[in-house]
Amino acid sequence: MKDVPFIKEMLQKGNEAKDKVIVEFPNMTLQQLNWKPAPSSWSIAQCLDHLVIADSSYFPALKKIFEGTYAMTIWERWSPFSAICGRILVDKLQEHAKKKMKAPKVFRPSTSNIDIGIIERFYQHHDIFMDYIASCDNTDLDRTNITSPAIRFVTYNLRNAIKLLVRHEHRHINQAIRVKQSKDFPE
């Protein structure tokens, strides 16, 4: 089943996320990338590192879907929760955070200073991510279920996974922009 309009929309939204990073964070210093408005807050670098970590954890499944070798597990095929889990996650994770959410441990960024290469790593990771989304245009997005890399018993369909991941990118890029707009942000 072709779902070209949805894929095009997600690619456009995904590329808008990358464009935000290009516009908002050119020529950042190491100090600026790692500055935090509060000890418990994330820096710009941590927001980008988190996206690379979280999204990359989906790459093995997306790569198999791209290669045409993906086979759903029995749980992915028969889980009665796939539809509801996906909808709940998509509804909870908005681009503009209404409520702070704690990232699963496996998705948390480094707590030490992150090197200046994080922006280039984000761009590279993002391009791979967009290629994987583009390759899903001939996949039945509603009947292909994948397992959450964070919670092994949670499954959702590919449509919800893509929507979730694209929204997730915007959410944390928006968070990084708020860090840059903080009154004490280093010049």
Residues 139-172 pLDDT 10s = 999 999 999 998 888 899 999 999 999 999 999 9
| 1 or 119, greater pLDDT | 119
Distance CA 18, CA 24 (A): 10
Q: Where are the beta strands (DSSP E) in 28-179?
A: 145-147, 155-157
For residue 127, how far is the Cα from the chain centroid? 12
Distance CA 172, CA 48 (A): 7
Contacts for 83 with CB less than 8 Å, ≥ 6 apart: 156, 157
User: What's the number of CA atoms in the CB half-sphere (13 Å) around residue 150?
Assistant: 16
Question: If one looks up domain 4-180 in CATH, what number appears?
Answer: 1.20.120.450
pTM tops 0.85 = yes
Among candidates 56, 31, 166, which has minimal Cα distance to 106? 56
Whether the per-residue pLDDT at 125 is higher than 70: the answer is yes
* Structure-block tokens of residue 184: 């004490």
User: What's the number of CA atoms in the CB half-sphere (13 Å) around residue 109?
Assistant: 23
Q: Are 116 and 30 spatial neighbours (Cβ–Cβ below 8 Å)?
A: yes
Over residues 57-107, the pLDDT tens digits come to 999 999 999 999 999 999 998 887 777 777 777 777 666 666 676 666 666
pLDDT at 105: 67
pLDDT at 108: 72
Over residues 10-30, the pLDDT tens digits come to 999 999 999 999 999 999 999
pLDDT at 98: 63
